[in-house]
Structure 1
Amino acid sequence: MKIVQLISRLDEIGGEQSHLIELVKQLHKNGHQILILTSNEPFIQQIIEIQDLGVEIEPLYFMKRKFHLWKDFRAIIEIRKRLKSFQPDLVAMHSSKAGVIGRIAAKSLGIPTVFTVHGWSFSEGVSKMKRLILEKVEKYLAKHTSKIITVSTYDYQLALQRKLVLQEKMETIHNGIPTQKTTEKISNNTPLIIMIARFATPKRQDLLIQALSNMQEIPWKLILIGDGPNREQNEKRKNDQNLQDRISFLGVRNDVERFLEQADINVLLSDYEGLPLVIIESMRACIPTIASNVGGVSELIIDQHSGLLVDNSISGIQKAITLLIENISLRKQLGDNSRATFEKHFTIDTMYAKTIQVYQEVIKNAGNENDVSQINRYKY
């Protein structure tokens, strides 16, 4: 198959970017011809590595993260030119922005499309007026989308509740990552807590720092990995609470697996979520996660079995952290259960097999459609 993968940006690592990278690696490995279209921002190291494997990546000059009517129109024209040249069997899109302009460009050429939802743009964190507009946009575009993949059942159900998409057009395929061998976990004398997340909405490193500042009588250390606009104010919060010796800010890292292997507890506090890859990474590393019970998080963590789900209250967060710090055997049990759940449901092999099946079905069905634009989709 010839497949275009379209994503808004690849200048920072996140759930959408990690998903795309692992998917493209498998597609390329299995002989499919891939073209990645993205913004013209500098690429992260992981993208340079797959480019070195022979995957074609082309920057889009007018693709920007924020919506901008004139630039988005130019981006659609730009994408159409690339699609005409590459003549793909399918265009797959990741991120809300790419999903909008990508589907418009592909539809104008009669090319079948798959839009992967890593969290609906209208679900949380936006104003009511903006949410209504985005819902209408998604409802319109869904009619012109061959298939929509949601990475969480939460987003699948949300679309049905809002009557945005016909059920037969959607499928949930959970994120997956490569399997890695684990060594036997040895608990640190001072429990090591880790949170890996961008310092921006919807992540709540501030809640974690506040909770831990109230727990200075018990031993712990915290590592925060990531960068973003809220980092400076969180570093100030650490200094204000005199936690300089207990909290480390490490910035963006390409070796997060190494830190997860060393950690005793993973924490992810958020106001809203899709299906966080960092939790799957902690499951693979055999460590328990304390996470906000939002979005698709409960599809990863069974409370008290493979981790702890919390509301975003300081008292609830403190209670969960204290429980795992003081109970090494519980940490091990939850970590072992997490690993077992990962191996059963969240490997790259499982995700890839389901995704490639969707791609094949979409291309097959496109060939059977009577729509003139589909029949003549290569007569650009």
Structure 2
Amino acid sequence: MRIVQLITHMNELGGAQVHVRDLSRQLAMDGHTVTIVSGGEEKVPKDLVLPSITYVHSKFLIRNIHPIKDFIALLDIRKKIKKLRPEIVAIHSSKAGILGRIACWSLRIPFVFTAHGWSFTEGVEKKQQRFYRKVERCIGKISSTVITVCDHDRNLALKHQVLPFAKIKTIHNGVIDTKNAGLENGNREFVNILMVARFEKPKKQQELLEALISLKDLNWHMIFAGDGSLKQKTAQFVQENNLGHKVTFLGNHSNVSELLNETDIFVLNSSWEGLPLSILEAMAHGVPIIASNVGGVKEAVRNGQNGFLIHENLQEQLSLLIEGELLRKKMGEKSREIYEGIFTFEKMYQKTLTTYYNLL
């Protein structure tokens, strides 16, 4: 097949970008011709670049809403897709999801949209929720197949009548297994806690640190991987509360698997999510999870089995896992079991490929 993967941008190692990279790599290995079309900044980070893939940049495609630029972007995307003559277009992320579906519909080219979390999900500002629901209802009329990465997002779309039952299906996110079987968690000087997330509004790194302050006499070390506009404010909070010796800021880190091999507890504290790849990667490494009960997180994190869902009790949950080595081991083994049963890359890839063929 000749396949175009269209995404709003490929400028950072986010969940949608990693999904597109890994999917494109495997499609190319299986003999398909893949082109990634993206907006944002033209330069793609080296961790997202694949030698077997052609990258095409649309300079008018931006994340923020801008009616004039968005119309120009629509025309540009349509022109690029027409020139590439794909048999199918796979579309990812909100802005590309809207413009890409219109462009493909006008060209009569089969397309599928993968929603990596809706812009009208719980936790998003109410006015924004209403706006995006209206937009998605309109675009839903010209959509034949939409993939959600978790059942929560599928049910949310059905609840708000964004799409009819027949047009929407769940294919759970899946991640490549990079666990180093030779390394075992535990028996370290400190209990290593890891959070991999950008320092932006949906994530709540400072709230996590506030919970850890009362536990500073326990034997833990907090590691943050990621960058963003709130990082400096968070670092200042660490210094003001004399936590500098117990907290490390790594910035953007290209080898999260390496970090996970040395991680005892993985935490993701968020206001909203779809189904985060970072949680699935931690589960693949046999790590217990503490995460906000938002989006599709509860489909991966079984409360009390492979970790905890946060219910105003983050401090208590952290204490239980920091002090409970046997509990960490038990929950980590359950994480690995759930990953192998549902969230492997192979399962996700085969279901996605079948969807492509069905559209053709």
RMSD: 1.1
Summarize the alignment of residues 147-186 of structure 1 with structure 2, pairs less than 5 Å apart: 147-180=145-178, 181-186=180-185
Distance 1:163 1:116 in 2: 17
The counterpart of 1:119, out of the listed 113, 117, 123, is 117
State the shift of 1:146 in Å.
1.9
State the shift of 1:79 in Å.
0.9
The counterpart of 2:107, out of the listed 93, 109, 113, is 109
Query: Are the equivalent residues in 2 in contact too, given 1:12–1:44 (CA < 8 A)?
Result: yes
Aligned residue in 2 for 1:279: 279
Letter of the 1:47 counterpart: L
State the shift of 1:126 in Å.
3.6
Query: Are the equivalent residues in 2 in contact too, given 1:21–1:46 (CA < 8 A)?
Result: no
State the shift of 1:44 in Å.
1.3
Summarize the alignment of residues 168-317 of structure 1 with structure 2, pairs less than 5 Å apart: 168-180=166-178, 181-187=180-186, 188-311=188-311, 313=312, 316-317=313-314
Distance 1:97 1:182 in 2: 40
**Does 2:334 correspond to 1:330?**
no
State the shift of 1:344 in Å.
1.4
Q: Residue deviations 1:57-111, cap 9 Å, x none?
A: 1010101111111111111111111111111111111100000110111111111
State the shift of 1:183 in Å.
2.6
Summarize the alignment of residues 12-161 of structure 1 with structure 2, pairs less than 5 Å apart: 12-41=12-41, 42-48=43-49, 50=50, 52=51, 54-161=52-159
State the shift of 1:252 in Å.
0.1
Query: Are the equivalent residues in 1 in contact too, given 2:306–2:334 (CA < 8 A)?
Result: yes
Letter of the 1:193 counterpart: I
Letter of the 2:85 counterpart: Q
Matched residue SS, 2:261: helix
- Relative to structure 1, is the Cα distance of residues 40 and 309 closer, same or farther in structure 2, using a 3 angstrom cutoff? closer
State the shift of 1:125 in Å.
4.1
Query: Are the equivalent residues in 2 in contact too, given 1:93–1:116 (CA < 8 A)?
Result: yes
Query: Are the equivalent residues in 2 in contact too, given 1:182–1:286 (CA < 8 A)?
Result: no
Query: Are the equivalent residues in 1 in contact too, given 2:150–2:171 (CA < 8 A)?
Result: yes
Query: Are the equivalent residues in 1 in contact too, given 2:21–2:48 (CA < 8 A)?
Result: yes
Query: Are the equivalent residues in 1 in contact too, given 2:198–2:228 (CA < 8 A)?
Result: yes
State the shift of 1:118 in Å.
0.7
Letter of the 1:335 counterpart: G
Distance 1:186 1:124 in 2: 35
Aligned residue in 2 for 1:373: none
Give the share of equivalent positions with the same residue, in percent. 40
Query: Are the equivalent residues in 1 in contact too, given 2:275–2:296 (CA < 8 A)?
Result: yes
State the shift of 1:127 in Å.
3.3
Query: Are the equivalent residues in 1 in contact too, given 2:288–2:335 (CA < 8 A)?
Result: yes
Query: Are the equivalent residues in 2 in contact too, given 1:112–1:145 (CA < 8 A)?
Result: no
- Relative to structure 1, is the Cα distance of residues 14 and 164 closer, same or farther in structure 2, using a 3 angstrom cutoff? same
Query: Are the equivalent residues in 2 in contact too, given 1:193–1:266 (CA < 8 A)?
Result: yes
Letter of the 2:152 counterpart: Y
Greater shift after overlay, 116-125 or 71-80? Answer: 116-125
Query: Are the equivalent residues in 2 in contact too, given 1:151–1:275 (CA < 8 A)?
Result: yes
Letter of the 2:2 counterpart: K
Aligned residue in 2 for 1:6: 6
Aligned residue in 2 for 1:320: 317
Matched residue SS, 1:262: coil
Q: Residue deviations 1:20-60, cap 9 Å, x none?
A: 11111111111111111001512111222x1x2x2111010
TM-score (norm 2): 0.97
